[in-house]
Amino acid sequence: MRSIIFYSALSSVLSVKAQNITQTSSISFSATPVSTAVPSATVPADTPVPGQGDYPPVQYLCEDGSNTTYCPGVLLQDVQLAGIFPDSKTFVDKPTNGSLNDTLAAFNALGSNVSVGQVENFVNNNFKGEGLDLNQIPIEGFVQSPAILNNISDPIYKAWTSIVNSYWTLLIRETNESSICNGQCDSSLIPLNHTVVVPGGRYREIYYWDSRWIIEGLLKSELYSYAWNLLQNMMDFIDVYGYIPNGGRKYYVNRSQPPMFIQMLDAYIKVTGNTTILERALPLASAEMEWWANNRTFNYTSPYTNRTVLVAHYAVNNSAPRPEGYVEDYETVTGASPPLNDTEKAELYSELATGAESGWDYSSRWTKQPLLNVSDNNPALRTLNVKAIIPVDLLSLLSGDHALLADLYDLYANSTGNMVGSNSTSGSNSTDIVQNNSTGTSSSGNSSSPAFYHRQQAQAFSDAVLDLCWDPEKSWFYDFNTTSNSRSSVYSPAGAWPLWQNITPSELSNNETAALAFVSGSRFLLGKYSGIPSVASLLYTGLNWDFPNSWPPHLHTTIKAFETLGRLYPDASTLNNLTIPYSEVAQGQLGVQEADLQPQPASTIGNVTLQTQEAQGKPWPLALSIEYANRYLGAAFCSWYSTGGAIDGLLTQLPLSELNATGTYTAGQSGVMFEKFNATDTDAAGGGGEYTVQVGFGWTNGVVLWAAGEYGQYLPSPTCPMIPIIEVNGNGNSSVYSNGTSVEGTGSRANGTSGNATSSLLFAGYRIPREEWKRAADEH
């Protein structure tokens, strides 16, 4: 029935659309001008700034509590609550244009009862543009055609992946030495010695867990020197702080993020074979693990086995609004009814910062009452309970980190004849020393060796995951809630992380039926929604990390879990249908009844096929990986094409009138890579949360390159729901490329076509209005 609707819509517009073909280029290596915000009052200039006299306590984890422009205090609060910037992060990323003392003197001269207009003038006169403390620099050693392109069959995907490969040049930065000032000005930037790759948008500095998927992409792009620099920066952080902060700004140093450094280090060595980095990296990696042990772990008695297990949680010492989210945090805390006392305020500020440390800021995973108000996040955020949650993904990651670190110690010993000793067992943060191992053999059997210690820690965290987080009845992993002393019922992609980190329950190791139960929720979601099935949660709350948002890291980690199952079952069966109805999902796994799930709007499915021909006949773990990779690349490509993307000589840009239909197009754009996607709408970006969806985007690019490199040989041509892509041949005839439908007698083009664009191969897209599609769907 879908092909009838498609053909009807196509025939009515093809003759017009095929005549309006313009070509643009999506590839640019020129520097992107830095766009800076000018303070602008949204209320009369003489309006007093709210909150004066009610300031937070000094935060000693921000510049040791000293008076600065970007740490919580009188100046920061007055500027932020004046409301002169729509994004709280803008101001704290602005360097001063004079010394800190001069800036503070100018602020103090404003006196008491400061007005919004005074604050606006103060910022105008004393601050430079945000982000000017970093310079965009040209890419060096760019590889125009990395080997992964040879693995991509479809010509459009192949050319588009090449464009994504070039996007690194838009995100490469180095510290602007002139902005450091040597005391002549002040900046929140943590100056770094090596080139950085930033996520993009408001995230104009290095970030910790983003870098895990950025480095994945850099390795696929064969930009090994930039991957090396990224790792060096992470090691510099550990050298200075003993851990890796959330990001490269001084206001981030009160917290970390999911500990990905060892994962990045291992990925780099596996691809490059360069082990010279280990001499410096191993002691620092041990030091980071020691920081997590000293600051984020504790023992907990399992209600299921009565055993005491080693667990971890996110927990930030903080009693003030986050500088980069000051207005949002302040309104969340001070808007509570009944009002919070000082102790309760401090606790909620701590929970807000802890949610940011988790990387999932914010999600129903962390709240006691998530479904309070979809249009207003604050009621749910006031029920944050992050510190009481033992996150399944954090436990799994720490187990995997320690296991990889043990292997890296062995690798170093075997490759050099030396053993880097570790003081990890002493519970201190002291620097490791290098000890001679004349045998040059593995140290893993030596109970005093670092490898032995880290394998013990890996096992301890693995045991905790299997005890507290694995639910054999529901066949999924869940967070553990210490408040209720029970597992959470929130189903999320975090439950795939144990398999990613090779933590496998015995039930799944020798029972393919049980393994299929584990993926039953994934199979249902594959058929339920047209977008990426690894949706952050199934609860529609309006929070940044909840439905309908699908995030690149979740796609990667979910496929890695499928790959683990593929290794467990190398002769896995093939399935006639990968998708299943709700009734066949493991009972209770999804945590919600089918009637409570958000619907898939018919108007956004369009021409999307919920199962691809390329996955048929494959063992089910591989088939699921192909389907998920296809959905992700489709979402990234279609949202890029919907925002002005084009490929010279191959794919024309949509007409301006149709680009505007997305609501996210800005004049002059040539395709946007969003930070997250919409599980129900392949053409659109994700949404919700305390800031607008960002573009750039580092981890999106990285996962595109990874998925294309790993699964490109299986990819059909892209199919965008409301944007059929038509092949325009040299003789002017046209055929539908994406689904095999034959138009005007030119015949269909088989999926999996390889090769580069030629003069006789040109594609054009056009948008079918959603109301037209819905009307046609209703009629048929």
What is the tens place of the pLDDT at every residue in 164-181? 999 999 999 998 876 666
Least confident of 322-331, 677-686, 730-739: 730-739
**Residue 443 binned pLDDT confidence (cut-offs 50, 70, 90):** low
Residue owning tokens 């089918």? 594
Q: What percent of the chain has pLDDT over 90?
A: 71
Structure tokens at 333: 């805390």
Quote the pLDDT of residue 659: 76
**Residue 778 binned pLDDT confidence (cut-offs 50, 70, 90):** low
Residue 756 has pLDDT above 90, yes or no: no
Least confident of 88-102, 145-159, 567-581, 602-616: 602-616
The mean predicted confidence, pLDDT, of the chain is 86
Quote the pLDDT of residue 764: 86
**Residue 12 binned pLDDT confidence (cut-offs 50, 70, 90):** very low
Digit-coded pLDDT (tens) for 560-581 = 999 999 999 999 999 999 999 9
Euclidean distance between CA atoms 573 and 738, whole angstroms: 29
Quote the pLDDT of residue 90: 96
Least confident of 125-134, 364-373, 417-426, 699-708: 417-426
Residue 140 has pLDDT above 70, yes or no: yes
Alpha-carbon distances, residue 454 vs 266, 411, 426, 445 (angstroms): 15, 14, 13, 12
Q: What percent of the chain has pLDDT over 70?
A: 84
**Residue 671 binned pLDDT confidence (cut-offs 50, 70, 90):** confident
Judge whether 75 and 122 are in contact, CB under 8 Å. Answer: no
**Helix, strand counts (H, E) of the chain:** 26, 18
Closest to 559 (Cα-Cα) out of 708, 680, 685 = 708
Quote the pLDDT of residue 418: 73
Residue 221 has pLDDT above 90, yes or no: yes
Quote the pLDDT of residue 179: 61
Digit-coded pLDDT (tens) for 374-426 = 889 999 999 999 999 999 999 999 999 999 999 999 999 998 877 655 443 33
Tell which wins on pLDDT, 363 or 669: 363
Quote the pLDDT of residue 734: 44
Residue 703 has pLDDT above 50, yes or no: yes
Q: Which residues contact 461 (CB under 8 A, 6 or more apart)?
A: 310, 311, 312, 395, 396, 398, 399, 402
Torsion of CA 93, 98, 99, 101, to 10 degrees: -100
Residue 767 has pLDDT above 90, yes or no: no
Written as one letter, the residue type at 53 is G
Tell which wins on pLDDT, 229 or 694: 229
Euclidean distance between CA atoms 108 and 124, whole angstroms: 16
Quote the pLDDT of residue 435: 27
What 8-state DSSP symbol labels residue 465?
I
Average pLDDT value for residue range 513-538: 95
Quote the pLDDT of residue 29: 45
Tell which wins on pLDDT, 682 or 82: 82
Quote the pLDDT of residue 689: 59
Quote the pLDDT of residue 436: 28
Residue 4 has pLDDT above 80, yes or no: no
Quote the pLDDT of residue 776: 52
Least confident of 363-372, 459-468, 731-740: 731-740
Judge whether 140 and 225 are in contact, CB under 8 Å. Answer: yes
Average pLDDT value for residue range 476-495: 98
List b or e across 730-758, with b for residues whose CB sees 16 or more CB atoms inside 10 angstroms: eeeebbbbbbbeebeebeebebeeeeebe
Structure tokens at 660: 């505007």
Euclidean distance between CA atoms 245 and 353, whole angstroms: 13
Digit-coded pLDDT (tens) for 687-697 = 665 556 677 89
761: helix, strand or coil: strand
Least confident of 482-491, 526-535, 647-656, 662-671: 662-671
Quote the pLDDT of residue 642: 86
List b or e across 681-718, with b for residues whose CB sees 16 or more CB atoms inside 10 angstroms: bbbbbbebbbbebbbbbbbbbbbbbbbbbbbbbbbbbb
- According to the per-residue pLDDT averaged within each range, which of 24-33, 341-350, 614-623 is highest? 341-350
335: helix, strand or coil: coil
Least confident of 207-221, 364-378, 553-567: 364-378
Digit-coded pLDDT (tens) for 77-117 = 999 999 999 999 999 999 999 999 999 999 999 999 999 99
